[in-house]
């Protein structure tokens, strides 16, 4: 007779169980703890799309404002340059006039040498007419 030798503990743990339970994986539903995590990720993805749209519209408006600001800076520089040039020209003219006044003398005739000119008078006006009472 063939007797089967007794199995040791080592051999019994290596063997597969007779039947493997066949259960479907649990679905992620409202009550499942991972449901809130997935839902929060989906909401973050939605808000990220809105943020990207806002950023693109802001960048377009910044570009249009940037061109306007550049034009204003150009005008400011032109006005500043004109003011500096005008100031330089006026200071040169003032310098020339002050130096010229040293060489040019203006004699104003005194009142004694001045002859009296005849004055033109208008004809006498008529007296106002008075009404009789």
> In terms of C-beta density within 10 A (0-12 exposed, 13-18 middle, 19 or more buried), how is residue 116 classed?
exposed
Give per-residue pLDDT as tens, 62-98.
998 999 999 999 999 999 999 999 999 999 999 999 8
Q: How confident is the model at residue 129 (pLDDT cuts 50, 70, 90)?
A: confident
**Which among 7-21, 41-55, 68-82, 99-113 has the top mean pLDDT?**
68-82
Place of tokens 């004109």: 82
Residue 29 neighbours by CB under 8 Å, 6+ apart: 35
**SS3 readout for 33-54:** HHHHHHHHHHHHHHHHHHHHHH
Task: Return the pLDDT at 47.
Answer: 87
Q: pTM value?
A: 0.39
DSSP letter at 101?
H
Tell me how long the chain is.
133
124 pLDDT higher than 70:
no
pLDDT at 2 over 60: no
């Amino acid at each position: 007779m063939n007797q089967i030798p007794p199995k040791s503990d080592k051999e019994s743990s290596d063997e597969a169980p007779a039947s493997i339970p066949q259960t479907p994986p649990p679905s992620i539903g409202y009550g499942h703890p991972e449901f809130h995590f997935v839902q929060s990720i989906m909401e973050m993805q939605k808000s990220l799309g809105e943020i990207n749209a806002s950023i693109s519209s802001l960048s377009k408006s910044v570009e249009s404002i940037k061109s306007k600001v550049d034009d204003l800076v150009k005008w400011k520089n032109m006005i500043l340059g004109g003011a500096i040039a005008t100031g330089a020209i006026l200071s040169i003219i003032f310098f020339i006039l002050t130096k010229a006044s040293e060489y040019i003398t203006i004699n104003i005739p005194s009142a004694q040498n001045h002859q009296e000119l005849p004055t033109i008078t208008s004809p006498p006006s008529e007296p106002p007419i008075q009404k009789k009472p």
